[in-house]
Amino acid sequence: MKTANCSPTALEIGNNIRKLRIIKGYDKQKDFADELEISKVSLSKIENGITDIAYSRFCQIAHTLNIDIEIIFKDPAHSIAKKLLPPRNKALVKI
């Protein structure tokens, strides 16, 4: 008897990271990879579910995107997740 697998796959998590990256204004992989201090190739492998990610990397990604870590495991297209994901503000605030 098969049991339902409720946890997301590496590919689903990678797709979520890609969506979150774009929602937060990192349109280019290279820009986000530079923020994470990893290569573009490494980020591509994460986003394509090719490589396993350590907990510390999940924390780093969440911190860089300014989100709670659990959002990485949810589909960002879901309306609740969208409410929690204000875009990254690219404008400089002058005081």
Say what the pTM is.
Answer: 0.76
Position 8 scores a pLDDT of 82
Region 67-72: mean pLDDT is: 91
Fold of 10-83: 434 Repressor (Amino-terminal Domain) (1.10.260)
- The C-alpha angle 18, 19, 22, rounded to 5 degrees, equals 85
Q: What is the pLDDT of residues 36-64, one digit of tens each?
A: 999 999 999 999 999 989 999 999 999 99
User: Which two three-digit tokens encode residue 58?
Assistant: 């999940």
Percentage of the chain modeled with pLDDT above 90: 62
